[in-house]
C-alpha cells in the first residue's frame, strides 16, 4: 500500500511589508539630498521566481511515531514557482508602500510503507506537510539609492496566510481521496532586493523573502518589474535655430529673345508638376517636400553651409554643493536639444569653486560639479557620454570678487554645424 498527499492553494493573503533606509551626503557640515531623477507616485508591478520550503524534520518524525508508520520510501516536493502582482506608491526616493497578491506555489509529500492505524495516519497527514500559502499584501519598503540607477531595498512584512491540503491513497492503480484539511495563520517576514531603473518610469529588481509559517519556513527568490504612472518626467524646449546667413547673388543678365514669326498653335502640352514649389519639376526632383524657403540645387535638394558655433552655459552652485539648482533645468534642456539637433561631437564641462577652503578640497568639489552636469545630460536626455569632457579647475580661474559667482560650472560648445541656405 502506498499512502500520499498533495497540497493545493486557493485563498487570499494580506501582508504588511516594512523597511526604512536613508541616504544623504555632506560637504563642510552641510547636508543636501541628491536629486532623484526617476518617477514618484503610483505604480504597478509583478514578480516571478522560485519558492522553497524548509521542511521541519521534527514534524515528520512526530508524524511517523504518532501514526505508527514504518516508512520504506519518502518523497518530498518542496520547491515550486512563486509569483506576485501588486500596486504601490513611492513617496520619495527612500520610502514606498505596496499592496498585492502573492502565491508561494504547490507542495507535495508522499510515503510508502506499512501503518498500524490507517485512520490515525489520514488524520495526521492533513496537518503535517511542507507548508506553503498564497494571498494579498500591503507593503512598506525602505530604499538606499546608489549610483547609475541602482538601489538597495529592505522589507519587513506581516503575512496573514491560508492553505488547503488533500490526502490521497494509492490502492492498486486507483488514487482515492482520503480527506482534506485547511490551515491559516499570520506573522512577520523579512526581505530585501537590488533594483535598477531601466528608464524614468520602469524599474527591474531581484528580490529575496524569508517567510516563517507555522512549522516550516519558505524562502523566495524572484525577478520583478515596476512601472510608474508619473507623467512629470524631464521635458525641454527645443533650442531656437539661428537664421542662416543671407547669401546675395548678382542678378542674371536677361537676353532678349529674337523676334519670331507667328506659327500655327500646336496642341497644348500638359504642364509639368512641381509639388513642393522649389522650382524643380517632380520628374527631376530627387528631394521631395523640400521646405519652400530653402535654396536648392538642380536636383531639388537643399543646399547647406557649415558655420562655426561658440555656445556657453553657466550654472551657479550653493556653497560646498554639487547639486544642480532646478532653475537651471531649462537651460540644460535647451543645451541638450541643441546638441542633438546639430549633432555636436565635443562638449567641454568645467567646474569651478571660490577661493575659500583648502585648494585640494576645492579641486575635488569642482570636478563633482562638472560630473553632476555631465550625468544630468546623459541620464535625462540621453546625450552620449563620449562627447562630454568633464574637468574640474578648483579655485584657479576666479572670475569675480563675489564668491557666489565663482561657485560655478561652465559648458562650452565649439563646433561646426551644418545650416540650410535660405531664400531672400
In a domain, 175, yes or no: yes
Domain boundary among 182, 211, 228: 228
Dmax of the chain from CA atoms? 131
79, 237 contact by CB (below 8 A)? no
335, 315 contact by CB (below 8 A)? no
Specify which of 53-67, 138-152, 255-269 reaches the highest per-range mean pLDDT.
138-152
Position 323 scores a pLDDT of 93
211 shares its domain with 322: no
> What distance in Å separates the CA atoms of residue 267 and residue 94, rounded to the nearest whole number?
82
> What distance in Å separates the CA atoms of residue 98 and residue 294, rounded to the nearest whole number?
56
Average pLDDT for 394-400: 92
pLDDT digits (tens, 9 = 90+) for 281-307: 888 888 988 888 888 898 889 888 888
Say if residue 72's pLDDT is above 60: no
197 shares its domain with 333: no
> What distance in Å separates the CA atoms of residue 387 and residue 377, rounded to the nearest whole number?
11
pLDDT digits (tens, 9 = 90+) for 352-376: 999 988 999 999 999 999 999 999 9
In a domain, 216, yes or no: yes
Average pLDDT for 244-259: 64
In a domain, 202, yes or no: yes
> What distance in Å separates the CA atoms of residue 300 and residue 289, rounded to the nearest whole number?
9
Question: What long-range pairs does 8-11 form, CB within 8 A, spacing at least 24?
Answer: 8/106, 8/164, 8/165, 8/166, 9/103, 9/104, 9/105, 9/106, 9/132, 9/133, 9/134, 9/163, 9/164, 10/134, 10/164, 11/133, 11/134, 11/135, 11/161, 11/162, 11/163, 11/164, 11/184
220 shares its domain with 71: yes
**CATH number for position 379:** 3.30.1330.60
185, 213 contact by CB (below 8 A)? yes
Give strand pairing partners of 389.
348
pTM of the model: 0.48
> What distance in Å separates the CA atoms of residue 132 and residue 79, rounded to the nearest whole number?
10
The cell numbers describing 132, all together, are: 506553503
> What distance in Å separates the CA atoms of residue 111 and residue 75, rounded to the nearest whole number?
6
**Which one has a higher pLDDT value, 245 or 163?**
163
22 shares its domain with 117: yes
**CATH number for position 111:** 2.40.160.20
Give 119's DSSP letter: H
314 shares its domain with 180: no
In a domain, 249, yes or no: no
Domain boundary among 228, 259, 282: 228
In a domain, 45, yes or no: yes
Give 82's contacts (C-beta < 8 A, 6+ positions apart): 48, 49, 50, 51, 102, 103, 104, 105, 220, 222
**Which one has a higher pLDDT value, 172 or 35?**
35
Say if residue 73's pLDDT is above 70: no
Domain hosting 68: range is 2-228
Position 57 scores a pLDDT of 59
In a domain, 243, yes or no: no
Into how many domains does the chain fold? 2
HSE, CB side, 13 Å, CA atoms: give it for residue 69: 26
The cell numbers describing 114, all together, are: 506499512
In a domain, 70, yes or no: yes
pLDDT digits (tens, 9 = 90+) for 175-195: 566 667 788 888 888 999 999
For 395-424, what is the HEC assignment?
CCCCCCCCHHHHCEEEEEEEEEEEEECECC
Give 335's DSSP letter: H
In a domain, 21, yes or no: yes
> What distance in Å separates the CA atoms of residue 383 and residue 374, rounded to the nearest whole number?
9
> What distance in Å separates the CA atoms of residue 30 and residue 321, rounded to the nearest whole number?
9
Number of CB atoms found within 10 A of residue 340's CB: 16
Domain boundary among 213, 228, 243: 228
pLDDT digits (tens, 9 = 90+) for 3-31: 333 333 333 333 334 344 444 333 333 33
Amino acid at each position: 500500500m502506498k499512502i500520499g498527499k498533495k497540497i493545493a492553494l486557493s485563498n487570499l493573503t494580506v501582508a504588511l511589508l516594512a523597511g526604512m533606509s536613508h541616504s544623504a551626503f555632506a560637504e563642510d557640515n552641510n547636508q543636501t539630498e541628491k536629486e532623484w531623477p526617476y518617477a514618484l507616485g503610483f505604480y504597478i508591478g509583478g514578480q516571478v521566481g522560485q519558492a522553497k520550503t524548509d521542511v521541519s524534520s521534527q514534524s515528520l518524525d512526530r508524524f511517523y511515531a504518532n501514526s505508527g508508520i514504518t516508512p520504506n520510501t519518502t518523497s518530498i516536493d518542496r520547491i515550486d514557482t512563486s509569483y506576485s502582482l501588486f500596486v504601490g506608491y513611492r513617496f520619495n526616493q527612500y520610502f514606498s508602500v505596496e499592496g498585492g497578491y502573492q502565491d508561494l506555489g504547490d507542495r507535495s509529500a508522499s510515503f510508502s510503507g506499512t501503518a498500524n492505524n490507517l485512520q490515525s495516519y489520514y488524520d495526521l497527514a492533513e496537518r503535517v506537510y511542507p507548508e506553503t500559502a498564497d494571498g494579498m499584501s500591503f507593503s512598506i519598503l525602505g530604499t538606499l539609492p546608489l549610483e547609475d540607477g541602482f538601489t538597495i531595498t529592505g522589507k519587513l512584512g506581516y503575512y496573514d496566510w491560508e492553505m488547503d491540503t488533500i490526502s490521497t491513497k494509492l490502492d492498486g492503480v486507483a488514487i482515492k481521496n482520503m480527506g482534506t484539511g485547511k490551515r491559516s495563520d499570520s506573522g512577520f517576514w523579512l526581505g530585501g532586493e537590488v533594483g535598477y531603473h531601466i528608464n524614468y518610469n520602469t524599474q527591474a529588481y531581484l528580490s529575496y523573502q524569508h517567510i516563517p509559517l507555522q512549522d516550516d519556513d519558505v524562502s523566495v527568490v524572484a525577478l520583478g518589474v515596476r512601472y510608474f504612472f508619473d507623467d512629470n518626467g524631464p521635458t525641454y524646449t527645443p533650442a531656437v535655430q539661428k537664421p542662416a546667413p543671407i547669401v546675395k547673388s548678382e542678378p542674371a543678365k536677361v537676353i532678349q529673345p529674337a523676334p519670331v514669326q507667328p506659327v500655327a498653335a500646336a496642341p497644348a502640352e500638359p504642364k509639368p508638376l512641381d509639388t513642393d514649389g522649389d522650382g524643380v519639376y517632380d520628374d527631376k526632383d530627387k528631394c521631395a517636400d523640400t521646405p519652400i524657403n530653402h535654396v536648392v540645387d538642380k536636383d531639388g535638394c537643399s543646399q547647406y553651409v557649415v558655420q562655426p558655433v561658440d555656445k556657453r552655459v553657466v550654472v551657479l552652485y550653493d556653497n560646498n554643493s554639487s547639486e544642480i539648482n532646478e532653475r537651471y533645468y531649462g537651460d540644460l534642456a535647451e543645451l541638450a536639444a541643441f546638441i542633438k539637433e546639430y549633432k555636436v561631437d565635443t562638449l567641454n564641462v568645467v567646474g569651478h569653486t571660490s577661493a575659500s577652503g583648502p585648494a585640494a578640497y576645492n579641486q575635488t568639489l569642482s570636478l563633482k560639479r562638472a560630473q553632476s552636469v555631465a550625468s544630468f545630460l546623459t541620464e535625462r536626455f540621453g546625450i552620449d557620454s563620449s562627447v562630454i569632457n568633464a574637468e574640474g579647475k578648483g579655485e584657479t580661474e576666479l572670475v569675480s570678487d563675489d564668491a557666489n559667482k565663482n561657485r560655478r560650472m561652465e559648458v562650452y560648445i565649439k563646433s561646426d554645424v551644418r545650416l540650410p541656405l535660405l531664400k531672400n
